[in-house]
Amino acid sequence: MENKVQRMEELFEKSMDTVTSHPAFLNGVSVLLNFNSYRKIWFRKTMEAVWKDLELPIRGDQDKLLNSVEELNVRIKKLEMELQKERQKKEPEIKRSAKKVENGISSEVGFQ
């Protein structure tokens, strides 16, 4: 029984190898793959045209917008870091001037 199953599997494998390596089969598969590729391209272009007609953003517009938003996020983070550095620089100056005012000494003109 086991021998029959093994023999059947071997025959099936051999016939599948013959069929899948035959030029007619390979040409048919090639035509189907090419047709599917063209169908996808055509569908994508058609949908882009429909979205443009409806004045909705297409994928390219969405990608550009996403890149712009990410750029703005990076710029905001840089500006926040710079602002934090400036605040840290001014903090000691504010503390020094507050101590001088407490002691009755002011660096401002006309204040005593």
Q: What is the pLDDT of residue 112?
A: 44
Q: Whole-model pTM? A: 0.43
Instruction: Please report, in tens digits, the pLDDT of each residue of the chain (112 residues total).
Output: 788 889 999 999 998 888 888 888 889 999 999 999 999 999 999 999 998 899 888 888 889 999 999 999 999 999 999 999 998 888 877 666 666 656 655 555 544 4
* Domain ranges for the chain: 1-56, 57-102
Closest Cα to residue 102, out of 25, 94, 83, 110?
A: 94
Residues contacting residue 58 through CB under 8 Å, at least 6 positions apart? 48, 51, 52
**42 vs 44: CA distance, rounded Å:** 6
Q: What is the pLDDT of residue 107?
A: 52
Q: What is the pLDDT of residue 33?
A: 94
On whether the CB atoms of residues 52 and 60 are closer than 8 A, the answer is no
3-state secondary structure of 112: coil
